[in-house]
Structure 1
Amino acid sequence: MVDITVDSELWLRRFHAPGRDSHRLVVLPHAGGSASFFRPLAAALAPELDVLTVQYPGRQDRRSEKSIEDIGEYADRIHEVLLAEADRPTALYGHSMGAILAFEVACRLEASGHAPLAVIASGRRAPATHREENVHQRDNQGIVTELRRLSGTHTELLGDDEILQMILPALRSDYTAVERYICPAERTVNCPILALTGDQDPRTSLDEAKAWDRHTTGRFELEVLSGGHFFIVDHQRRLAERIAEFVSGAASER
């Protein structure tokens, strides 16, 4: 039995105090990503939303822990942690791998009677769309090449061997998890879904982003912004506005 109280402290980061009646937003990072990457987003949303950002094992202050290589295990662990944080209506936002995790955690929350307000998915094709990908099987240089292609890491960091040795194990584990993930076409959530995508994202086509519509019985919205896989970096203000707007709308529908 997982000690949920201890896990909450390990898994969740709150960078800003929420308002008394704020709804909650749980943020799930991309492959290789850390909670601190989303500190600016948390600042932009506070105090309107109580932002909790997930810190995955195997990185930063959890670097000594074993990384997870399965989306189902990731989602199970995060779901357990969030059951201890059920004091406010909660929405889920994830980028790239985090979008898949947001969907899978939402499925588990609904099944356990703690339905989320909404799922907001950015930088990721719909769960049941599939591409054959093998980044996790490449050597270290192959993974670095992929990072450069996606422009998700400052290029000066990719030339620092010490930093690379720190982040590559977690990256490989995350790519293993997401590239092996398979979702049944019929799996849906009842809450509304907002999909956000970059118009030049090599990882997600417009049709693949639109396909998120098939995974909700509720309302679906899509917004296309300029940029590649990490378009969210160049659209921080719009991202915060859109998230706050969508969560507020979902809450009013309850």
Structure 2
Amino acid sequence: MTNLSTEKEIDVGKAIVATDWLRVLRAHPAPRRQLLCFPPGGGSVTAYRALAEQLDDGIAVVAVQYPGRQDRLGEPAIDDMDTLVDRIVEEVLDQGPVQQLSLFGHSMGATVAFETARRLERKGQPVTTLFVSGRPAPTFVEPGRLHLGSDDDLIGDLERLATDPASVRILREEPSLAELVLPAVRSDYQAIETYRYREGAALACDVSALVSTDDPTMTPEQARDWREHTRGAFAHTVFPGGHFYLDDKVSEVADLIARTLQT
């Protein structure tokens, strides 16, 4: 595992406070590091609760709650990447300068985190490290158009990616539950399937790409393409497992993050 950070003295900063968009999963009154997490498509902040529990006390963990799910179920989901990222950036910048901010995104969340990092850096908010997990580099064009398909198509893809397909099968058995869950899933799929990378300056922050051996959405070799999107240090780590390897390797991923951020 490559250690990306070279800083020896770390300033203690003001913690990010909770909003409708930003949910504090591990609080710290004066964190040495702050990690902002971006859920995968169809996901919510709960995707990172286990990771937050594994991280050291010096790291405050916050996750983005996209609209259209859980306690934001009454709000329309956002099906456009630019609109989604702009709203997240606005929420972060409203916090004032955030010291020692790093971002972690899995699957669709990796692309959202990347675009968020780009905008934050352009607006003068530094990012220390961008962790991108289970997603090809931004120049990759998603070939699927599942957001235009049937509910059965969406459920089928969720089963394909799930560590335990039986946990998704309930959406076929409970139509009322599917009516609540699938609109946000469809919007997320539309956001990622219609996303197109626009040329721009490479990130100043370090990038750490995480991938698993048996992910049907990408190969371990594709993770190396993220190197082209940073002027900082780059690390590439492969874990055993499928697309949602994080479910089984949470302690290992937490250790990688902690070591990278040098808490």
TM-score (norm 2): 0.87
Please give the secondary structure, in 2, of the residue aligned with 1:91.
strand
1:172-183 to structure 2, matched below 5 A, reads 172-183=186-197
The counterpart of 1:121, out of the listed 132, 144, 160, is: 132
Provide the residue aligned with 1:51 in structure 2.
61
Q: Distance in 1 between matches of 2:50 and 2:146?
A: 29
What is the CA distance between 1:88 and its match in structure 2?
2.7
Cα shift at 1:187: 4.7
Q: CA deviation at 1:129?
A: 1.7
Equivalent position to 2:87, from 77, 83, 100: 77
- Measured after TM superposition, the shift of residue 8 of structure 1 is 5.7
Report matched runs for 1:126-205 at 5 Å: 126-151=137-162, 154-158=167-171, 159-184=173-198, 187-205=201-219
Q: Structure 1 residue 63: deviation in Å?
A: 0.5
Q: Deviations over 1:155-174 (max 9, x none)?
A: 35333322221110000000
Separation in 2, partners of 1:83, 1:9: 12
Q: Secondary structure at the match of 2:40?
A: coil
In structure 1, what is the Cα distance between the partners aligned to 2:120 and 2:199? 19
**Match of 2:50?**
40
How much has 1:186 moved relative to structure 2? 5.2
The whole-number CA distance in structure 2 between the counterparts of 1:172 and 1:46 is 35
Letter of the aligned partner of 2:124 in structure 1? G
Residues paired across the two proteins, number: 243
Aligned: 1:100 with 2:111: yes
Q: Which blocks of at least 5 consecutive residues in structure 1 are unaligned?
A: 1-6, 250-254
CA displacement 1:87-127 (0-9 Å, x = unmatched): 43200000001100111000011101111111000010001
Note closer, same or farther for the CA distance 1:16–1:206 as it changes in structure 2 (3 Å cut).
closer
Identical aligned residues as a percent: 35
1:143 Cα shift?
0.2
Higher helix share: 1
Amino acid at match of 2:208: L
Where 1:79 maps in the other structure, the secondary structure is helix
Cα 1:10–1:216 change in 2 (3 A) is same
Letter in 2 for 1:18: H
SS at match of 2:35: strand
Greater RCO, CA 8 A, separation 6+: 2
Give SS of 2:25's match: coil
Alignment equivalent of 2:26, drawn from 5, 8, 16: 16
Question: 1:19: how far off?
Answer: 5.5
Output the amino acid matched with 2:90: E
The root-mean-square deviation of aligned C-alpha atoms, in Å, is 1.8
Q: Offset of 1:209 from its aligned partner?
A: 1.1
State how far apart, in whole Å, the 2-side matches of 1:8 and 1:233 are.
Answer: 25
> 1: CA distance between counterparts of 2:216 and 2:198?
23
1:19, 1:48 within 8 Å by CA — same for their partners in 2? no
Aligned residue for 1:108, secondary structure, equals helix
2:22, 2:56 → 1: CA distance? 16
Counterparts of 1:79 and 1:184 in 2: how far apart (Å)?
18
Quote the residue 2:236 is aligned against.
222
Q: What runs of 5+ residues in structure 2 fail to find an aligned partner?
A: 1-16
